[in-house]
Amino acid sequence: MTVTVIPAADRHFWANEWLSSRQSFPGTGNFDIFANAHGVLAMHNDDVVDPGEGLDAHHHQNMEIVTWVVEGSLIHRDSHGHTVTLEAGQAGAMTAGRGITHSERNAASRASGRRLRVIQMWVPPHADELEPDHGYRDFGSRLAAGDPVVVASGRPQHAGSDALTIANRYAALHVARPRPGRAITLPAAPFAHLFVVRGEVSASSRELPRAPIAEGDAVRFTDGGEVTLEASTDAEILYWEMHASFDAARPA
């Protein structure tokens, strides 16, 4: 049983003229993103995109890509006919499958001055060469109660729920906006990844004494128990519950 805390300042940082990317796992440069995975989570980028800017059309294959919008608006277009604008509190889930080309941009005009902040996360599919697809959903109203919400999952127990479906039967993404002074509980898993999107929370488990973690901090759990959180300010967290390692989850 291990717990690793990654302070916000220790994240890998990459930037160009219009993008600032803070990465819990190194995702740009000469890195093997699969060798650096925790559980099945291979990429976890906290990106800020200038108004009117973004990534032009580019190709993906055999990857599940989940995007959580924190601030602003993101427009997604892909080669399978999906054009979607995502706002804060909304998530998109893309199955790249046998191949898909897409672009992602800040939907705001340059004149607006409105930045886009998104968290983008990659997990492998449990089967290759799937039919490419993209889905999205608004979770804002469900998050208002402060309890954890399953936003994206391939776990059998979440089939038929409001969660976006991803093609990884070992993983589920929970999002919460915990209310100050009220504890919430996140599920135990062989691998887990907790990330504070904003605010400050105190996290504790049988392996982790009560410890404050703030915006940009992450905690990785291996063979851990349930995680209890209590927010000291208005907060938002992302929590990946994972029941396999990256290598075990990949198709044979």
Binding-site residues from annotation for Fe cation: 58, 60, 102, 104
> Distance between CA atoms of 170 and 110, rounded to whole angstroms?
40
**Do residues 192 and 168 touch, judged by C-beta distance below 8 A?**
no
Binding-site positions read 58, 60, 102, 104
- Other beta carbons within 10 angstroms of residue 81's beta carbon come to 7
In total, the chain counts a number of residues equal to 252
**Do residues 103 and 83 touch, judged by C-beta distance below 8 A?**
no
User: Could you identify the residue written with the tokens 């990317």?
Assistant: 21
> Distance between CA atoms of 142 and 160, rounded to whole angstroms?
16
> Distance between CA atoms of 235 and 197, rounded to whole angstroms?
7
> Distance between CA atoms of 55 and 79, rounded to whole angstroms?
14
Indicate the SS3 state at residue 8.
helix
